[in-house]
Structures are given as C-alpha cells and as structure tokens.
Structure 1
C-alpha cells in the first residue's frame, strides 16, 4: 500500500504540493488534467508538464482520476467508437509517460451526489451529507445549480461544467438506457481499450456508484458485490479492476466491505478510504476517518487490504472542513492529512501485529 492524496492542480486546488509532501508517509498524488473535456485526447506535452510539476515537489503521479468518459460511450451511440479511439490515444500517451493507473466511473449524467455540501456537525466542522427526502424534492434539471450554489465557488470534481446547459437533453438521451444496456456499453468500452491497457500495463479502476442506488431514476450498476463480480467476469483481464471506495459502497449498510475486498483480491487497483454515519434509510453524513466517528470499521477494512497484499495507492477520501479552512467541499488539507496519518497508523499496527504472530 502506498499513501497518496488527490490533488486538483495549482490552478484549482487550495492545497499545494509542498503541503502534501509534508504529510508523513504520503508519497504521491492522484490527479488529472482538469481543463480537458470528456472525449478530448490528452496531449503528450500537457501530461509531461503535469508530471514534471509533481515530481519537482518530491512526489509521484500515482494515478489519474479521471480520464472522463464521453456520454456517447455510456449511451451507446454510433459516435462512441470515435470517442473510444480518442480514449485509447490518451491511454497510450499516459502509458508512455509511465502512468499506469486510471480511476474512472460510468455513472450517467451525475457523478457523486449529495444534498448538502457543508452540513454543520455538533463539533462545528462541516461535512458532505445525503438525504433522499431532500433529493426527491429537487428538480434534476436544477441539480447542477444546487451543487454549484453550495460549493462556495470551488469546482466540484466529477461535475463537468459543460453539462450545465444539457441536463434535460441528457435525460432524454439516457431515456432508453436501463441497467442492462448501461452494463453492456461498459463492457463494450472495456473490451475495446483492454489491448492498449495490457500493452502499457495500465490498470483501469472503476469507481463505485455514489451513492449505491439510483439517483433521479438513472441506472446505477457498480454498487454491490454481485454487480461488481459480474463486471470482473465479463472482462476477465487483470487490467480491468476496481477503485474500492468505502464511502460509496458504505452508503448501503448491506454491503460487507471487508468481505468484498477479500473477494476481489487481485482486481483492486486503488482504494478510496472514507467513513460515514448512517442516519436512516438512504440518509447519511460523511465523518472523520476514525472508526468510532462513523458507521464503518476502518480497522477491519484496512486489515482486509493488508490480507490481500494491497500494493496500489490508497488515499483518504473526502474530509471534514475543520479549523476554519476554506476549500473545495470534502477536499481540504487538514482533515485529509489527519485521515492519511490515521490510515498509515492502522496499517503499521496491522503489519506489526501480523509479523509478531508469525
């Protein structure tokens, strides 16, 4: 396991590479080219510049999150092959620069969804929160406006601004796409890119749907053990793997995360570590990474990662906003740094305990 932090680039992020470098045990960043649109080819020059900036700070580019997938691919339009060709070219450029991990998702229209980006907790910190009752009262065509309004003026990762004026159009385009069609379109995409992934040993790591159920009636297919296993079986190549996100899976209390980690051994390329607390059916607040602060047993989760000999990157995902920090919702420095230190501490304790038993 290697500890990393997500970084949004010097243009957008309030957190600097120099600060990330000072987090004990943090060796790299997970980043992307934030000015590119889905479907565009990433230039070699832009990738080289991004990589050079990170390495100049004493860190590595541990992975890309994300090379976003064009809607025509998800919907299965005739134009998808052209966008897949562009995606393959981007993978080739990344592979030639030694970048071998790409986290992505296949969620229609909306990425991760929350009803509140700054819910105040009893301790005065603020967190991301989800309440289905609130979501049900929101007009989907205004969801982007709702998220943008509560973001504090910061960009929201995964919420592509070019979709702002296309929500109604996109809903119409997805009207005939059910779970099965979305799944088959994902398989089509993966089978097309796998030869390139194998050539450059690029690990494609799909992120779980967040939350783990339909939002605004749109299909979600990467949300439980059965569905994930089906995808791994449909494209049984090691390069086709997972970004195991504890917060996304944990939104559904029926998901046994340690069991899933052990079951998917060899196919988990990346880990997102996040805690949350269940408040009721389809209602949760995100929490500090500490097990006792939420509903997830982070010790058992890290133990499962240790047992499968996880060697890929892990990052603390979504932190509270604490100590007066102003930053992108969920992505401040302070609480994520605390989370990285806590997770490293768990790993060290598990590792030393396991060796002492032997």
Structure 2
C-alpha cells in the first residue's frame, strides 16, 4: 500500500507539508484546487503550480480528492453536457500532471452530514458526531447553519455559496428518485470513463456519509450490493471505488473486510477510520484503534494485506487532541497516530503475525 495524507492547500490548512513529510511511511498528499467551485475546469497552469510546490517537499500528487461533480449532472439536467465536458478537460489536465486517481462522490446536495463537529469524548478529546434524532427533528437550514459556524476553514462539501439556498437545492430532487440517480451516475460514467482509459486515470467513488437517506434525498452508494451495481454500470477497471471504512462502518450490516476481498481490483483508494455506533442510530468518530470503536480496523488492514493491495490509503477523520486548532476532523496529531497504528499492523503482517 502507499500511505497518503489529505491536505487542503498552503493557505487553507493548519497542517503544512513540512509536517506531513515527517510522518513515517507517508509518501503523498491527497489534494485539490480548493478555491475552484464545482463545475469549473481545473486550469493546467494551476495544477502544475500545485504539483511543483508539493513535489518540492518530497511528496507525490497521485491522488486528487475531490473533483466535485456539479449538481446539474446529478440531477440529469440538459445543462449537464457542458459540465461533463468540463470534467473531461479536468481529467486530461490532471493526467498531464501525473495524477493517477480521482476521488469523487455522487451524494445529492450534502457531501456528508454531522450534527456536532466537536462532541466531547470521555478522554477529553472531541470528534465529529452524528445524532440520529437531531437529524430527524432539525431542518436542513438548522444543520447547515450549525456546520458553517466554524469561520476558520472551509469544509469539504459545505461551500457556503452552494448551500445558501438549501431548501431550493433539496426541492430540485423531488423528481429524482433512487433509480433516476443511478441512471444519472451511469450516464456520467459512460461519458468520462473512456477519457480515463485513454489517459490512465482511475475514478474512485466515495460512499454515502452517512450511508442512508437523509432529508428525503436519495443515496445510492451505501452497501455491498450498491458496489456490485456500481462496477457493472461501466465495466472498466478505471471505474472504481474509494472504500471508506468510516462511511460504510456507520452501518452494522456492512462487512468491510469482505468488501475489500470482493472488490479488490476496483479499490483505487482507501480511507481508514473508525466510528463508534450506538443502538439509537447515533455514531461518533473514535481513534483508529479497533478497541475504541465499532469497526475492526485490524481485520480491515489484514484484508488489504491479504489481497496484496498496492493502491493508496489515507487515515480519514481524526479526533481533535492535545488542544490542536484545526479543521474539524482534519488535524495533524490524531491522523498521524492513525497512520502509525495502520503501519504497525502492516509491519506485524510482514513478519507473519496475524490476529
């Protein structure tokens, strides 16, 4: 596997490339041109400028997260044609810079949803928290306002200009059910995968977070059955998966090690994080350690080792520890601890020691 670390850019992250390069075993950053809104072409000169800066710190730019899919594509509107053409151009430009994997998602309106960005844990740290009853009883506007209260950093998938008219955005999906959303995803992939094949770039879809419908919006990448349908939409190795253990792990019926073994040839990118599930449907993000959550991270790393995984992995969300001031879920300290935990498991496997 190749360990990476998500980074939000030189002007939008509390974590520097100097910090990242000091994490043992970490060879690349997962990056994006954060200032560009969804739907725009990523200019080649800006891509190459970021490539030069990142590589000057001894890190690679192989994985981009994310080239966001414009809402008109998800809605299947006639205007999607131009936005798909823009996406194709961005793929070509990224390929010219040496990018190998593009992480994206097809979640309507919200890329992810939590109700509290700094829920206290028993050890004094804080973490991202999803409260089921709060989602059921709150309005979308209330949740958006709560999430956007943090003034220090932009949050991925929560761009203020896109969410300013949240109710109108949700209402657009009244005519888009689950089957229509699947059809719109298939159309998108049928258009872009030939470009990916030509330029050797793999698309890796991120699962729904959380992996169930929220505010009446359809969700289509939530279970193993959904992954089976996805890979058959366009039968190409370039049509692949970002397998996120935290997103899938919010459901107790998702067997993540089995997903890894089944879809090993389509997993181009892996997010590894833990969550602690509660019987009422709540979940909170814990440390990466298996014993601290409901997701068996040891078995997940063992499954990647078993299949001989050579792709890209990154620690996903971390707790906020040691008074670190950072983007919610994306500090340095806990994610670095997560890397060391994963590498410790991998090193044991190299020595022939299993759980």
Q: TM-score, normalised by structure 1?
A: 0.97
> Secondary structure of 1:171's partner?
helix
Whether the 8 Å CA contact 1:119–1:129 is kept in 2: the answer is: yes
Instruction: Give the deviation of 1:58 after TM superposition.
Output: 0.9
> Secondary structure of 1:184's partner?
helix
RMSD: 1.1
Taking the aligned partners of 1:221 and 1:6, their CA distance within structure 2 comes to: 25
Taking the aligned partners of 2:221 and 2:350, their CA distance within structure 1 comes to: 31
Pick closer, same or farther for the CA change 1:152–1:324 going to 2, 3 Å.
farther
**Counterpart in the other structure of 1:44:** 44
- Where in structure 2 are the equivalents of 1:161-200 lying within 5 Å? 161-200=160-199
Taking the aligned partners of 1:144 and 1:62, their CA distance within structure 2 comes to: 32
**Counterpart in the other structure of 1:319:** 318
Taking the aligned partners of 1:174 and 1:195, their CA distance within structure 2 comes to: 28
Taking the aligned partners of 1:311 and 1:146, their CA distance within structure 2 comes to: 39
> Secondary structure of 1:64's partner?
strand
> Secondary structure of 2:278's partner?
strand
Instruction: Give the deviation of 1:89 after TM superposition.
Output: 0.4
- Where in structure 2 are the equivalents of 1:1-358 lying within 5 Å? 1-149=1-149, 151=150, 153-353=152-352
Taking the aligned partners of 2:163 and 2:211, their CA distance within structure 1 comes to: 23
Whether the 8 Å CA contact 2:115–2:135 is kept in 1: the answer is: yes
Whether the 8 Å CA contact 1:100–1:200 is kept in 2: the answer is: no
> Secondary structure of 2:144's partner?
helix
Whether the 8 Å CA contact 1:266–1:308 is kept in 2: the answer is: no
Q: Which runs of 5+ in 1 are unaligned?
A: none
Q: TM-score, normalised by structure 2?
A: 0.98
Taking the aligned partners of 1:261 and 1:349, their CA distance within structure 2 comes to: 20
> Secondary structure of 1:253's partner?
coil
Instruction: Give the deviation of 1:152 after TM superposition.
Output: 5.4
Q: Which runs of 5+ in 2 are unaligned?
A: none
Whether the 8 Å CA contact 1:241–1:267 is kept in 2: the answer is: yes
> Secondary structure of 2:197's partner?
helix
Instruction: Give the deviation of 1:163 after TM superposition.
Output: 1.2
Whether the 8 Å CA contact 2:62–2:98 is kept in 1: the answer is: no
Instruction: Give the deviation of 1:160 after TM superposition.
Output: 2.0
Taking the aligned partners of 1:274 and 1:123, their CA distance within structure 2 comes to: 18
Q: Tell me how many residue pairs correspond in the alignment.
A: 354
Q: Deviations over 1:156-185 (max 9, x none)?
A: 112122212221221121111111100110
